[in-house]
Amino acid sequence: MTELLSESRFPVPVDRAAVAADWAARGYSCGLFVDPPGRQWNGFVHAVNELVTVAEGRLEIEIDGARLAAGPGDEVFIPKGAVHSVRNLHDGTTRWLYGYD
């Protein structure tokens, strides 16, 4: 099984262009979400793999029932077909990058 959480995968402060270049080399897109405190994305399933990296703030990511806490520079791998949810745990805005292969 692939490791779901890679702590400190990217240096802080997170450089979006550097993450996008890294992900492009691995076959992933790169987009940005900006979520207010308490924002939740629940019960998603994709037919492709997804990567998530927190640029600022803190997220809880639940993947098939396993809960992970991710902070700036951490990378989370969400396998295709996995039921997953993302929640902003930060008391401020959380900015996070996501990409699909």
- Each residue's pLDDT tens digit, 15-42: 999 999 999 999 999 999 999 999 999 9
* CATH 2.60.120.10 is the classification of domain 5-100: yes
Query: What region, left, alpha or beta, does residue 76 occupy, with left being phi > 0 and alpha being psi -120 to 50 degrees?
Result: beta
Q: Name the band, by pLDDT with cuts 50, 70 and 90, for residue 1.
A: very low
CA separation for the pair 42, 65 (Å, rounded): 12
Would you kindly state where each structural domain of the chain is located, as residue ranges?
A: 5-100
pLDDT digits (tens, 9 = 90+) for 37-91: 999 999 999 999 999 999 999 999 999 999 999 999 999 999 999 999 999 999 9
pTM: 0.95
